[in-house]
Structure formats: C-alpha cells, structure tokens
C-alpha cells in the first residue's frame, strides 16, 4: 500500500514530494498538528468543495496518506522507507510493467525459441536414425 501510494504521489506531484511535504508538515510534527493539516487540506480538496478535474483522486490520496500517518506502526514503516529509499522492485509484475518488450523483441525471441526446438527435434531424429542404421549393419 505504501509503495503504490508513494509512486502515485511522485507521479502526480513530482519526485521530490513526500507525504509530509505534500501536507505541509515535517517528519517530526506531532499527530495533532498532522490532524489539523489533514482537516485543512480536506476542506480544500473535498470533491464537494473542489470541482477540479482530479479532485476525487487527490482526496482519495489524502485519505490514504492520513491513514498511514495516524497509525504509529505504519508511520514508522513509512519513515524507514523515506530515510532509506523505497525499493523499486516488487515482483515480476512490477518488472514487466516497467519493461515491456517491443514487438520486434518478442518476434525475435519467438523465432530463436522455435529455431531451438526445431534443432532439438532434428538432433533427436538424427540420433534415432543413427541407432536404426547401426542396428542394420
């Protein structure tokens, strides 16, 4: 949840923005101050008050961020990743989303794979024919 939220915030607001800077607080800000910043931002970002094109998305992001910052364990985990960096690997699906092979790459890969299977089939056929011929001699 934290990783996806960090990626979404970076994509929407820029790479230098984190949860704290987006809300206008610091990492050492106590919970009551964070709650005040949340209420202030929610008044401006709420879809009923803000008719902007991405108001719903921003408000949903704000709600997810405050959920993380309210919980001490989640906040500590976020602070750890903020200090040490968010990992950029998340399994094969994440890697595939980052690197999508082009059409030519897929065609070349399939051609090489088919050629390999064809070579293997011919080699097996050769060995069988060799065995058959040696049995005749």
pLDDT above 70 coverage of the chain, percent: 91
Q: What is the CA angle 122-124-128, rounded to 5? A: 115
pLDDT tens sequence across 113-130: 999 999 999 999 999 999
What's the chain's average pLDDT?
A: 86
Q: Is 82's pLDDT higher than 90?
A: no
Confidence of residue 7 (pLDDT cuts 50, 70, 90): confident
Q: Is the model's pLDDT at 96 over the cut of 60?
A: no
What distance in Å separates the CA atoms of residue 19 and residue 13, rounded to the nearest whole number? 11
Region 95-122 average pLDDT? 86
Whether the CA torsion 40, 7, 3, 27 is positive or negative: it is: negative
How confident is the model at residue 19, as a pLDDT? 92
The pLDDT value given to residue 115: 98
Give the pLDDT score at 50. Answer: 77
Query: Are the C-beta atoms of residues 78 and 19 closer than 8 Å to each other?
Result: yes
Check pLDDT > 70 for residue 93.
no
Is 88 buried (19+), middle (13-18) or exposed (0-12) by CB count in 10 A? exposed
């Amino acid at each position: 949840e934290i990783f996806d939220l960090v990626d979404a915030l970076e994509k929407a607001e820029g790479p230098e923005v984190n949860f704290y800077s987006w809300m206008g607080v610091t990492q050492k800000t106590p919970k009551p101050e964070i709650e005040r910043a949340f209420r202030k931002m929610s008044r401006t970002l709420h879809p009923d008050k803000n008719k902007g094109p991405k108001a719903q998305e921003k408000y949903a992001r704000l709600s997810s961020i405050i959920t993380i910052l309210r919980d001490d364990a989640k906040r500590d985990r976020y602070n750890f990743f903020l200090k040490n960096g968010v990992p950029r690997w998340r399994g094969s699906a994440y890697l595939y989303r980052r690197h999508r092979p082009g059409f030519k790459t897929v065609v070349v890969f399939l051609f090489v794979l088919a050629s390999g299977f064809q070579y293997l089939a011919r080699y097996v056929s050769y060995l069988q024919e060799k065995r058959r011929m040696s049995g005749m001699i």
